[in-house]
Structure 1
Amino acid sequence: MSQMTRSFDELVTEAEAAPVEGWDFSWLEGRATEQRPSWGYQRLLGEHLALASAALDIQTGGGEVLAGAGNFPRLMVATEGWAPNVAKATRLLHPRGVVVVADRDEPPLPFADEAFDLVTSRHPVTAHWTEIARVLRPGGTYLAQHVGHSSVFELVEYFLGPQSEEVRRGRHHGEARAAAEAAGLEVLDLRFESLRTEFFDIGAVVYFLRKVIWMVPGFTVAEYRDRLAELHELIQREGPFVAHATRFLIEARKPGRTDA
């Protein structure tokens, strides 16, 4: 049955029941699309891992991105703070020889100074630059894809109303550069892209907001039911709801030479 012919209640009930652990968005196939960044983060991640001897993936989620990146160095560690994701990442990554560490995603990182020659992350909630610099060896690299400023804010502001300029500039790539440099890192590469995103039915919206919990903090269907119903009618009448995700790639190096 086409999603366009299903009722609001059917779509919402289905989306509320869908599991949201991990960072796998395959449930949205056919229901939402997001343009991919041109740089291909997972490919770049694999290339860097192939050259590393000791690597750390911060906030690994369910481990899906790391697992698909290719061969791992002799020492490969991943951290994650949300218990359901810790369990999922452990099941996925332990058979590959990856040590999964449950960590609150707050400083300090539970590792010694200069423990890794590569630190990576895909969509960290917060980048603790001083800690990243501390655990990197001299000559080591931080490679990450971050969510940029005002990402999917068309959807955020649909539910929360207009946001302040301060809020809209949160996660700005320029501020990430400044913070990395303030921690003593040299930024080698910084690229930003705005990516068209479409939601084809209200179930996709509900699932997305349940999974990406910081978009509309405290989101529940009960709290936003009237606004959801209005959006359902809008999609039925005018077609997909269009927003724009923002992403930036950052590669930074800790000055000095590494023996790795």
Structure 2
Amino acid sequence: MEKMKLKKYWQTIEELAFSGWDFSYMNHRWEIEELPWCYSEFVREYLSKDLNLLDMGTGGGELLLTFNHPYDKTCVTEGWEPNYQLLKEKLQPLGVTIVFVAEDDQLNFPNDSFDIVLNRHESYDLGEVRRVLKHGGVFITQQVGDQNGCILSEKLLKNVQPKINRWSLETEQKSLLKENFDTIFAREYYPYQHFYDMEGLIYYVKRVPWEYPNFSVETHFDELLALQEELLKNRFIYNQQHRFALVGRLKG
């Protein structure tokens, strides 16, 4: 395919619609190494029907609904307007309390509101988490560390600056201690990520603009061509993720 036609085709991929946190388009287009822990299993271990639950940055609510928690004991926050509108249509009629939170250091809930706070890949202010959590309550989080996607960033972005190791298991364990939490579980891992076609890579990169700022097919076409060569040579494009998980209990 000649370059201009290829560019126009790739531009149709970056314009595809996206809602919630649904990556079904990526089925068979990528592979991500499994983590040595399971976030959902942590939640099910500590969650019971009588607990008041807060799920921070719930996205489209897809994962939350798999826990089958009583809707009248469930609150969620979301800071991205399209997802917030989706939640109002999807979860609010069920009885779930939905709160728009643009800044996670300002949670609009009273002190000691929740028995358990969940946070999967959402920013948070641990002082606010402590404030809204009851004594003896549990905070469960899985986070994207600051080394996430560095390999692909170096291949794709021009003049990318190396990330400073400030968002990691080590830093957040120290924060838990300062905020009067006991650490129940803590682990960090760097799983591989393989992309098996250019459509999948472009679709993914456009969905995480905080990882790949100012990316477009138009401005990064030469870099995409180089990645296509890597794909043809190796049958996949290699990237590496960075994940860490923490379970903490607020001391009584």
Question: Same fold by TM-score, threshold 0.5 exceeded?
Answer: yes
Q: Give the aligned partner of residue 241 of structure 2.
A: 245
Q: How does 1:101-250 map to 2 (within 5 A)?
A: 101-124=99-122, 126-160=123-157, 161=159, 163-164=161-162, 167-250=163-246
C-alpha distance in 1, partners of 2:68/2:75? 15
In the TM superposition, 1:45-56 aligns within 5 A as 45-50=43-48, 52-56=50-54
- For 1:36, the equivalent position in structure 2 comes to 34
1:14-29 matches, cutoff 5 A: 14-29=12-27
Residue in 1 that maps onto 2:63: 65
SS of match in other structure, 2:217: coil
**Residue pair 1:190, 1:250 contacting (<8 A) in 2 also:** yes
Residue 168 of structure 1 and its aligned partner are, at CA, apart by 4.2
**Runs of 5+ unmatched residues, structure 1:** 1-6
Distance 2:241 2:50 in 1: 31
Deviations 1:207-236 (A, max 9, x none): 111111211112222221221122123212
Letter in 1 for 2:134: R
Aligned pair in 2 of structure 1 residues 162, 210: CA closer, same or farther (>3 Å)? closer
- Find the counterpart in structure 1 of residue 98 from structure 2: 100
Number of equivalenced pairs: 247
Report the identity percentage. 27
Q: Deviations over 1:40-90 (max 9, x none)?
A: 212322333325521101111111111122333741100000011112233
Which AA in structure 1 matches 2:16?
A: A
Which aligned runs of 4 or more in structure 1 are off by greater than 4 angstroms? none
Aligned amino acid, residue 116 of structure 2: L
**Aligned AA (1:39):** W
Aligned to 1:4: none
**TM-score, normalised relative to structure 1:** 0.87
Q: Distance in 2 between matches of 1:67 and 1:213?
A: 26
Cα RMSD between the aligned structures?
2.0
Alpha-carbon distance change, 133 to 27 in structure 1, aligned in 2, over 3 angstroms: same
User: Is the partner of 1:19 in helix, strand or coil?
Assistant: coil
Q: Which amino acid aligns with 1:62?
A: G
Query: After superposition, what is the alpha-carbon deviation per residue over 1:161-182, rounded to whole angstroms, capped at 9, x for unaligned?
Result: 5643xx2413211101112222
The CA distance in 2 between the partners of 1:220 and 1:10, in whole Å, is 12
Q: Give 5+ residue unaligned stretches, structure 2.
A: none
Say whether the 8 Å CA contact 1:53–1:73 is kept in structure 2: no
Q: What is the TM-score with the length of structure 2 in the denominator?
A: 0.90
Cα gap change, 1:178 to 1:115, in 2 (>3 Å)? same
What letter corresponds to residue 212 of structure 1 in structure 2?
V
